[in-house]
Structure 1
Amino acid sequence: MELTILMPCLNEIETLATCINKAKQFLARTGISGEILIADNGSQDGSIETALDCGARVVRVPVRGYGAALMHGTLAAQGRYVIMGDSDDSYDFSRLELFVAKLREGYDLVMGNRFQGGIADGAMPFLHRYLGNPVLSFLGRLFFSIPIGDFHCGLRGFNRDKLVRLGLQTTGMEFASEMVVRSALSGYKICEVPTTLAKDGRSRPPHLRTWRDGWRHLRFLLMFSPRWLFFYPGLLFFFGGLLLTFVALPGPFQLAPGIALDVHTVVLGCMSTLIGAQCISFAHIARRYAAFRGFLPAAYPFQNVSALFTLERAVLVAGILVVLGLLGVASCMVAWARVGLGPLPYGQLVRVLVTSGTCVSIGLQLAFTGFLSEVLEIKSGSESDVEHQLVPAASSASA
């Protein structure tokens, strides 16, 4: 069987028969060997009976959620290719030729683009059309370099075996983003074809919730991109804080008549530097852990830089920073002792104390980050056993 047309379903009795009949017309007209599969997510309105009466195959999905329905349906699909689409009659299942043609050309994921094909009046809410979809699609292109203009089109086709190989995990609406991101990170061939979006044929509100599901998509994009979630903001905080600190550290810095950067700027700069160091350490740990566990590819743009961050080097640099910081604190203690542990002059001493404390804090965090990143990569017992079994074979082969 070449093609499975997959439709997730949850109480779609108003439109399900129409969608199935359009899919049947497409298969009959093109002569493609295929099936129509309904992944039912707990319908109680007669949708299952309707699907069976219309000649579709039904798989019951025990786990609630858009992603769960599609993943279970994909696992149950018998076709080499799968074209998925919502069963609310917003997509035209009688016109799938472009999807099939691209799949036959060897593309692993074929996305529909509603902005290219046309969106009927009232088919997409204003916020989705002009804010949510464009912004999330832009972030997807920015974070992962995926040349897709419509990240959340519900009509898309894919190579079944390759998608199953990804082991997608999300069960909600963010499944749509995970499919695209994980395919791109795995080097799959992705393209877009224009498709149309008609007005939802149901009388009830859609399952999609604008702000809740939009946040779930955004959260997924950020979690799979430690660079944009931690590293780039960390660089901004770190070097911005260093700049503020060093400008005002020697003394008041006159920006303009009546505007000066004083000790408060040093405090703000040190706080920003510390936040930046934390973000960068989070990026390092998150990226190494994701690569170690197979969530993200082992190769990434800053891999060579990250490889320099060994535990021994981290501890060495941390030791230097802590010693420098303690020397600064000691100088402040000496100055305090000189005045008989009494009141101290406000200003230069505070600059030195705050900067020294920041050095100590960053040094300690650097050391802890080095140890934590090593702890996260400790292999489990089963993984170690496999490696021990492979070592003698590898040695004898090289011998």
Structure 2
Amino acid sequence: MSAASSEASIELTIVMPCLNEAETLETCIRKAFDFLNRHGVTGEVVIGDNGSTDGSQAIAHRLGARVVQVPTRGYGAALYGATLAARGRYVIMGDSDDSYDFSNLMPFLEKLREGYDLVMGNRFRGGIQPGAMPWKNRYIGNPVLTGIGRLLFRCPAGDFHCGLRGYSMAAFKRMDLRTTGMEFASEMVIKATLLGLRIAEVPTTLSPDGRSRPPHLRPWRDGWRHLRFMLLYSPRWLFLYPGLFLMLVGLGVGTWLLPGPQRLAGVVLDVHTLLYAALAVLIGFQCITFALLAKVFAINEGLLPEDPRLTRLFQYITLETGLIIGSLLVVGGLAGSIAAVVSWNEAAYGPLDASRTLRMVIPSVLCLMLGCETILASLFLSILGLRIRRMAPAITTTGLPEHEAA
């Protein structure tokens, strides 16, 4: 059988990240091959090695697994490199610390065969053995991060960060994953959801880590990295919604106070409150601008998929439109400033009624600032619109012919 026909017949590739996992790697590889043999699945095991120095590569080679040397350090980089070298139609990934059961992968493969693009494991439905997960991860970290992920992205997964999951190679290519660290797991679920891929979930078990040394995971640090990544991946929640709220509140309060002082619950609100209302409008506008810039940048970098709504919006919001609107705001601000100076001239440039004058100055200054920000944001947005083609980084693979590694 030729190499091409042999690769075409492989249905499943089981990939594992590895960094000095000599204690447990053999157990994981044996379980994976045992699963393939028992169920008659044509498959392979690929190890994404991050530079192990404890003999892990030799163990993998001895057991018949292929080893992909991934020079870029990180959980995501190791899995990405191993998946790139996969020959199977489907891929199932899992940690090589013997915490996941590679001998029971049939539920994942069955869902993949049914046409699902991403199959997530759910440890809370399958069972978490005593000592397998710290209490803060089990009762705080994972539920909170999963809830945030479901809220921000409407993702159907009930265990957002389960490390045992399967996906088709076609879906993997569509997701175009970019992160190299622990965020890789979050990015996969988020992109699959945003791309409208079919996602299923199956119960899986979690056992205690089989290694004698401490795990690579750092719960608080990694939890913050996942949360930060999800927020950065959702410009709407991070920037747009807070910005809209601030602008609406600021405009409402400012409009209410512009004619004169107002009494609320026995308290008189005057130009000092008007100033803070203008500040809320300004910060809100900046947040909305950041939402737009972050969205365009993320799409250009391949972190987010194309958004048809944004494409339609840019039919109307162009550089010229932004420059015109910004210029009008600047002109309005200058006009208000001139009116304030004229009012000062009428008082022979002497003392002024602050309550009256600031009702002209504050809106004028706000218009000047919003106008300048609109012009600058429009120019920067036009720069982001210039797409740059980037070449994917190469990886080296041991156990592969030279033309395949390339």
Structure 1 vs Structure 2 CA RMSD: 2.1
Give the deviation of 1:81 after TM superposition: 1.0
Moved more, 235-244 or 177-186: 177-186
1:224 correspondence with 2:204: no
Q: How is 1:355-374 mapped onto 2 (pairs within 5 angstroms)?
A: 355-374=363-382
Give the deviation of 1:298 after TM superposition: 2.9
Unmatched runs of 5 consecutive residues or more in structure 1: 383-399
**Cα distance change of structure 1 residues 300 and 130 upon mapping to structure 2, 3 Å threshold:** farther
8 Å CA contact retained: 1:242, 1:270? yes
Q: Aligned partners of 1:306, 1:347: CA distance in 2, in Å?
A: 41
Which one of the candidate residues 310, 331, 334 is aligned to 2:342?
A: 334
The one-letter code matched in structure 1 to 2:226 is H
Q: Deviations over 1:303-355 (max 9, x none)?
A: 54554322333233323322222222112112222233232222221232112
Give the deviation of 1:118 after TM superposition: 1.5
Give the deviation of 1:21 after TM superposition: 1.9
Which residue is equivalent to 1:169?
A: 178
Which one of the candidate residues 153, 160, 176 is aligned to 1:144?
A: 153
Give the deviation of 1:194 after TM superposition: 1.0
8 Å CA contact retained: 2:300, 2:387? no
Q: Aligned partners of 2:85, 2:302: CA distance in 1, in Å?
A: 25
SS of 1:360's equivalent in the other structure is helix
Which residue is equivalent to 2:296?
A: 288
Which one of the candidate residues 38, 44, 59 is aligned to 1:50?
A: 59
Q: How is 1:226-241 mapped onto 2 (pairs within 5 angstroms)?
A: 226-241=235-250
Give the deviation of 1:368 after TM superposition: 2.3
Q: How is 1:259-278 mapped onto 2 (pairs within 5 angstroms)?
A: 259-278=267-286
1:26 correspondence with 2:29: no
Which one of the candidate residues 83, 94, 101 is aligned to 1:74?
A: 83
Which aligned segments of 4 or more residues in structure 1 are displaced greater than 6 angstroms? none
Q: Aligned partners of 1:239, 1:283: CA distance in 2, in Å?
A: 16
Which residue is equivalent to 1:386?
A: none
**Cα distance change of structure 1 residues 10 and 289 upon mapping to structure 2, 3 Å threshold:** closer
The percent identity for this pair of structures is: 55
TM-score by length of structure 2 reads 0.88
**Cα distance change of structure 1 residues 79 and 374 upon mapping to structure 2, 3 Å threshold:** same
Q: Aligned partners of 1:42, 1:380: CA distance in 2, in Å?
A: 32
Q: Aligned partners of 1:13, 1:378: CA distance in 2, in Å?
A: 47
1:310 correspondence with 2:318: yes
Q: Aligned partners of 1:23, 1:82: CA distance in 2, in Å?
A: 12
Q: Aligned partners of 1:335, 1:170: CA distance in 2, in Å?
A: 58
The one-letter code matched in structure 2 to 1:61 is V
Moved more, 289-298 or 121-130: 289-298
1:210 correspondence with 2:219: yes
Give the deviation of 1:289 after TM superposition: 4.1
Q: Aligned partners of 1:207, 1:292: CA distance in 2, in Å?
A: 32
Give the deviation of 1:300 after TM superposition: 4.6
Give the deviation of 1:105 after TM superposition: 0.8
